[in-house]
Amino acid sequence: MGRADDEEFADFVQVSSARLLRTAWLLCGNPVHAEELVQAALERVYLKWGRIRDGEPLAYTRRVVVNLHADSLRRARREQLTDAVPEHAAPAVTGPEEGDYLQHLLRQLPPRERQVVVLRHYVGESEAQAAFTLGVSVGTVKSSASRGLARLRALHAQEGSHVR
């Protein structure tokens, strides 16, 4: 890439990083992991910048973030179990205070429902855009959104009275 491409990519990073980071944080629930997801996604986008810059680079980058998150979930499931139980649980890593309650509720959703809810209702993607981002059908997005929102409402009804 030339200097002009590098400057254009740097502008893209400056404009879109905060949105990508917030989306990643809502997906994974861990600010450190969210930063790693965004950084890895931006590295991949940089390598393809010449091909994607004239399209929708934010949507493409968001898809890379979602895919990297899904990959990390698959890797986590393959972790080996041990007989030894740790003496103490690891401390929870939380995000900004205003998002703690939302993050708490989102963490209770299955990954696909969480991804759909974040993309549809935080990012503001249409059903078709979310389906493209996730690589699933529009019907899957609709059903996952419906189940996810219903679950969030039920959780909020159960736990909302204990908040604040």
* 114: CATH: 1.10.10.10
Token pair for residue 48?
């393809």
d(CA 8, CA 10): 5
pLDDT reported for residue 82: 61
pLDDT reported for residue 73: 78
Q: Is 83 inside a domain boundary?
A: no
Low-confidence winner among 74-83, 99-108, 122-131 (lowest mean pLDDT):
74-83
Domain containing residue 52: CATH number: 1.10.1740
pLDDT reported for residue 158: 86
Amino acid at 18: A
Q: Which of 42, 77, 112 is the last residue of a domain?
A: 77
Q: Is 84 inside a domain boundary?
A: no
How far is C-alpha 95 from the geometric centre of its chain's CA atoms? 13
pLDDT reported for residue 91: 43
Contact at 8 Å (CB) between 146 and 109?
no
For tokens 């790693």, what's the residue?
36
The mean of the pLDDT values for the chain is 84
Give the count of beta carbons closer than 10 Å to the beta carbon of residue 39.
Answer: 15
pLDDT reported for residue 123: 87
Question: Are both 23 and 72 inside the same structural domain?
Answer: yes
Q: How many domains does the chain have?
A: 2
Question: Are both 64 and 3 inside the same structural domain?
Answer: yes
pLDDT reported for residue 96: 41
Question: Are both 18 and 58 inside the same structural domain?
Answer: yes
Question: Are both 53 and 114 inside the same structural domain?
Answer: no
d(CA 108, CA 14): 32
Question: Are both 65 and 108 inside the same structural domain?
Answer: no
Q: Is it the case that residue 140 has pLDDT exceeding 60?
A: yes
Average pLDDT for 34-59? 93
For residue 142, give Cα distances in angstroms to 114, 116, 120, 148, 155. Answer: 13, 9, 10, 10, 20
pLDDT reported for residue 30: 87
Q: Is 69 inside a domain boundary?
A: yes
Q: Is 4 inside a domain boundary?
A: yes
Low-confidence winner among 67-71, 89-93, 160-164 (lowest mean pLDDT):
89-93
Question: Are both 70 and 129 inside the same structural domain?
Answer: no
Q: Which of 77, 112, 142 is the last residue of a domain?
A: 77
Domain that residue 45 falls in: 1-77
Rg (CA), the chain: 18
Question: Are both 13 and 46 inside the same structural domain?
Answer: yes
Average pLDDT for 107-114? 91
Q: Which of 44, 77, 110 is the last residue of a domain?
A: 77
pLDDT reported for residue 94: 42
pLDDT reported for residue 71: 85
Question: Are both 110 and 144 inside the same structural domain?
Answer: yes
